[in-house]
Chains A and B, each alone.
Chain A
Amino acid sequence: MHSESSIREPLILGHKTYHDITVDIVGPIENKAPRGWYILTSIAALIAAYGIGCILYLIGEGIGTWGLNKTVDWAWDITNFVWWVGIGHAGTLISAVLLLFRQKWRMAINRSAEAMTIFAVIMAATFPMIHMGRIWMAYYVFPLPNQFGSLWVNFNSPLLWDVFAISTYFSVSLVFWYIGLIPDFATIRDRLTKPAWKKAYSILSFGWTGNAKAWTRFEEVSLVLAGVATPLVFSVHSVVSMDFATSIIPGWHTTIFPPYFVSGAVFSGFAMVQTLLLVLRKVMKLESYINVKHVEYMNIVIIVTGSIVGVAYITELFISWYSGVEYESYAFINRATGPYWWAYWSMMTCNVISPQLFWFKKLRTNLAFTFFMSIVVNVGMWFERFVIIVTSLHRDYMPSSWTMFHPTWVDVGVFLGTIGIFFTLYLLFARYFPVVALNELKSILKSSGESYKQQQATADQHH
């Protein structure tokens, strides 16, 4: 057995046995849901229903119902898309990149972070679909044989790269998540007694046996999927950034976009993981598994990626001046001092200044402060995309066409609706799925569990 250095802090607190882990994580699924769950789910479902209504209205009426005009012809739709894709980056980063780095703290959080990823990517994918206008033609993004004189899609276009990147990312994340879920569903299957539920989880668990060869294959699949998912995570947001970077709009035409967007995505993704997990651990009583150390590790990732984002903002600003291109300089002066100054400075405050507070250990181990910061970061990251997209467009080369963007109720409704759908899906996940990868947690119990580490430490002293 791997034994771990005693100076590493334990990841599973208290005295737990393998059986305790099963009971703690499967328990909430077997028991009746608390009233709070019904209240939250109802609120989320209402918002989701309103959002779906707005989306249906939008599809019926066309995208003229958005606040777009001839100057700002791309606004909240793409802002929300990039925001959701960014949030969707933490899950696979946690499960794939941290798996390759053998970070054991990922095991308590990867399941719920991956669920978040999948739901966030579904929300992201909604936006390009609805902003096509004619959603029933959406299948035309794929290179399908057709009767329009061999009308193929353009493989030179970053928008098409996006189609491939997002669909690959979504389906690979889903498979990765589900393969990890199968053994845990088997645990639930073997515990439940009510026939209908037992049958349901039996179907979900695919007849998992947990024999030696199955586990060998399981570990190989996890490792290889992590290996292919790691470059995938980085490629997806790079491709998203190229939607802007390969254009010639001042403010978008920037070579640093891919790394800048990827770190921004990880930054906002971790913030969303914090928002969700800090509530989840409290409500589902998972404090022994998701403890302050996990939160601190995630806050450290937030400082690192937040600082990279900060450097990127400042580099962008410097290069706009250093390039000597008048239009490029103006795009950035206008961002900071023009009519959208408030969006720019909200972005700067939320994303560059506020994460630096996590350098203080007191603050990064304070859960209430972390929760507050996670919201601040997500607001900041929404503004980042808004600033990049709208402020680069609203004052173009011709001052006569300068204008502002005003969102309509449909813009707002669709955005709120995706938040509602996201939370509805997440709450359903929290109720019916094992929220922590319990088979993985069991495998580190004896090396990283608090009581086992203490036993190990006393045993070492006697030798």
Chain B
Amino acid sequence: MANKVIYAVYEDPEQLKEGARTLVTSGIRVKDVFSPFPVHGIDPIIGVKRTRLGIAAFMFGITGTVLATFGIWYFNIFDWPMNIGGKPSFHLYQNIPAFIPVIFEFTVLCAAHGMAITYLIRNKTLPGMPARNPDPRTTDDKFIIEVRTGDNHGHSSDEITGLLRTTPVFEINERQY
């Protein structure tokens, strides 16, 4: 039996969630969901885990703090302490108030860019990548559930589409893959 991919097209995020819930409660695995905007509450239904990007951002930020502190210590305390109006310049702890702004800015710089780059790579969204949404309408006004028969050996494609028809689905498309 050839593997089939089934696209159930919905017109509203609430209907999409209803469709996904119907499938999941019948033990059918939903491969993915495509939507024109974030559908809140879909992740726990189809089993998408929480992203760890926030942790990554924190790590990048801390790296920035450490790098900036070390850099400034090296430039202005260790390598070439400057005498500016006789203010203390021989120890980092004496001079640190004046260094806070740059340390802060560099922390933000690293956190933001580190996170943004990680985000683009993890999403596989980079310049020149081809569009990979199954239907161009998913960036306009349609919400699509993708189910693959290869993931659901216990269920035939007719069974899945039959189940989908009990939900307020707009149209169902099937494709071989």
Contacts and interface: CB of A to CB of B under 8 A. Distances in A.
Interface of A: 1-2, 17-19, 22, 143, 150-156, 158, 160-161, 164-165, 167-168, 171-172, 175-176, 179, 182-183, 186-187, 189-191, 202-203, 205-221, 223-225, 228-229, 231-232, 235, 239, 242, 439-440, 442-443, 446
Contact of A189 (B50, B102, B131): B131
A206 B127 CA distance: 5
Which residue among A2, A22, A211 has the maximum number of chain B CB atoms within 10 Å of its CB? Answer: A211
Interface in B109-144: 109, 111-113, 115-116, 119-120, 122-133, 136-141
B159 interface: no
A182 B38 contact: no
B167 interface: no
A208 B76 contact: no
Interface string B92-105: 00010011011011
Interface of B: 12-14, 32-40, 42-43, 46, 48, 50-51, 53-54, 57, 61, 71-72, 75-76, 79-80, 82, 84, 87, 89, 95, 98-99, 101-102, 104-106, 108-109, 111-113, 115-116, 119-120, 122-133, 136-141
A183 B32 contact: no
Contact of B54 (A202, A220, A442): A220
Given A160-B102, A216-B48, A186 B38 contact: no
A310 to B, nearest CB: 28
Contact of A221 (B12, B119, B126, B141): B119
Contacts of A152: 75-76, 79-80
A210 B35 contact: yes
Given A19-B141, A183-B139, A210-B133, A165 B116 contact: no
B37 A440 contact: yes
B43 A212 contact: yes
Contact of A217 (B51, B95, B126, B141): B51
A175 B108 CA distance: 12
B104 A235 contact: yes
B106 to A, nearest CB: 7
Contact of A168 (B14, B33, B105, B133): B105
Given A152-B80, A215-B39, A205 B105 contact: no
B99 A155 contact: yes
Contacts of B119: 179, 217-218, 221
Nearest to B130: A207
A81 B7 CA distance: 54
Contacts of B53: 217, 220-221, 224
A206 B126 contact: yes
Contacts of A17: 141
17 contacts: A152-B76, A156-B89, A175-B113, A179-B119, A189-B131, A190-B137, A203-B127, A205-B131, A207-B128, A211-B33, A211-B34, A212-B42, A213-B48, A215-B37, A215-B38, A224-B57, A232-B108
Contacts of A228: 57, 61, 108, 111-112
A167 B108 CA distance: 11
Nearest to B77: A155
Nearest to B146: A211
Nearest to A246: B98
B75 A209 contact: no
Contact of A175 (B72, B112, B131, B138): B112
A45 B80 CA distance: 47
Contacts of B61: 228
A182 B139 CA distance: 11
Contacts of A220: 51, 53-54
Nearest to A440: B37
A207 B126 contact: yes
Contact of B129 (A206, A211, A446): A206
B132 A216 contact: no
A215 B80 contact: no
Nearest to B109: A168
Nearest to B102: A164
B85 to A, nearest CB: 9
B76 A213 contact: no
A232 to B, nearest CB: 5
Which residue among B36, B46, B76, B136 has the maximum number of chain A CB atoms within 10 Å of its CB? Answer: B36
Contacts of B111: 224, 228
Given A1-B13, A182-B125, A190-B139, A442 B76 contact: no
A156 B87 contact: yes
Nearest to B11: A18
Contact of B125 (A175, A190, A208): A208
B95 A239 contact: no
Contacts of B33: 211-212
Q: Which 4 A-B residue pairings sit nearest by Cβ, starting from the closest?
A: A207-B129, A18-B141, A190-B136, A206-B125
Which residue among A156, A164, A176, A183 has the maximum number of chain B CB atoms within 10 Å of its CB? Answer: A156
